[in-house]
Amino acid sequence: MTESLVLEARNLRLSFGGVKAADDASLAVKKGEKVAIIGPNGAGKTTFVNLCTGYLVPQSGAVMFEGRDITGVAPRRIARGGIGRSFQLPQLFLDNTVIENMLLALAAREGIWQAWTPLERHPKRDEMFDLLGVIGLAEVAQRPVRELPEGMRKLIDIAMALALKPRLIFMDEPTSGVSSKEKFAIMDTLIKALKYNETTAIFVEHDMDVVSRYADKVAVWSGGRISLEGTPEQVLNDPDVRKNVIGV
């Protein structure tokens, strides 16, 4: 195999009834790369993320992570194996505070099978306060997640994935729900956090400014497969992409 591929999706296929949500989708991602996935609504971007993280099992094809076949492996095993993810709709423990959400992620990483020391007194809890500080959420640490706006929830969702210290992270539209003013600031901190841990990232994104600024590589999805792949410059100047995805 070529130099250290972190993720290799090979010819993934999955249809829901008649809808081909993944139709021979393939993607190879190298260590440290930031790959943006773009494409119109319903193109199969989230389905691809779901296939790579075990939420869905492909009808054919394979997913390789660091050279190991993880096709059909349960999400929790994939998560333990070093792949984190955030969701298009944030998946959080709404009744708990932000820090409680983070502490559960911390405990999940450090060993959840412990029934004596209270979670809130976790010996490494400061690490989670630090992480919240990095993404600018230190002030809401004690607030119940339910009370926070969507944009903040998206960040918490990503922070929970980062708390696991994954080697590869999938982010499904990290900046949706965030005002366009804040997008760059948030992406700057996220990219910094990723660099720090040498995390490879694959993110679904609708904002082309974000894509051109942060992606090393762009994959254009349409009809369940990649129709075009290249550097942001190549892809974003492609006439087809400009017409069908960006809409200019």
Partner 1 sequence: MRPEVIMGAGAALALCVATIIAPWATVMLTIALAVGLTVLGIVILLRAGQISFGHGLYYAAGAYTVAFLVNARLSLDTLVLIPLGGFVAMVIAIAFGFFAVRYRDIFFAMINLAISMVAFSLLEKLYHLTGGGDGMNVARPTLGGVRLGRVAFETWMFYTTLAVAAVSAFLVARYLASPLGKALEAIKSNETRLEYLGVSGNSALHIAYAVSAALAGMSGAIIAIVTGHVAPEFAYWVRSGEFVFISILGGSGNVVGAFAGSIVFEVIRNYAAAFAASYWQTILGLSLIAIIMFAPDGLTQLRLRRKVRP
Ligand X SMILES: Nc1ncnc2c1ncn2[C@@H]1O[C@H](COP(=O)(O)OP(=O)(O)OP(=O)(O)O)[C@@H](O)[C@H]1O
46 is an interface residue for Mg ion by CB under 5 A: yes
- Say if CB 138 and CB 132 are below 8 A apart: yes
246 touches, from Mg ion, ligand X, partner 1, none (C-beta below 5 to 8 Å by class): none
- Say if CB 165 and CB 197 are below 8 A apart: yes
200 is an interface residue for Mg ion by CB under 5 A: no
Distance CA 120, CA 44 (A): 39
Nearest residue to Mg ion by CB is 46
Q: Which of residues 177-216 bind ligand X (CB under 6 A)?
A: none
CB of 218 to ligand X, least distance (A): 15
92 is an interface residue for partner 1 by CB under 8 A: yes
First CA to last CA distance, the chain: 39
Q: Give me the residue label for tokens 């922070």.
A: 159
Nearest to 137 by CA among 156, 164, 157: 156
Stretch that binds ligand X, among 23-31, 34-42, 144-152, 240-248 (CB under 6 A): 34-42
91 is an interface residue for partner 1 by CB under 8 A: yes
What are 221's strand-pairing partners? Answer: 226
51 is an interface residue for ligand X by CB under 6 A: no
- CB half-sphere exposure, 148, CA atoms < 13 A: 27
85 touches, from Mg ion, partner 1, ligand X, none (C-beta below 5 to 8 Å by class): partner 1
44 touches, from ligand X, partner 1, Mg ion, none (C-beta below 5 to 8 Å by class): ligand X
- Say if CB 224 and CB 211 are below 8 A apart: no
Total binding residues for ligand X by CB under 6 A?
Answer: 12
CB of 213 to ligand X, least distance (A): 20
41 is an interface residue for ligand X by CB under 6 A: yes
19 is an interface residue for partner 1 by CB under 8 A: no
CB of 116 to ligand X, least distance (A): 40
Q: Which residues bind Mg ion (CB under 5 A)?
A: 45-46, 88
Q: Which residues bind ligand X (CB under 6 A)?
A: 16, 19, 21, 39, 41-47, 88
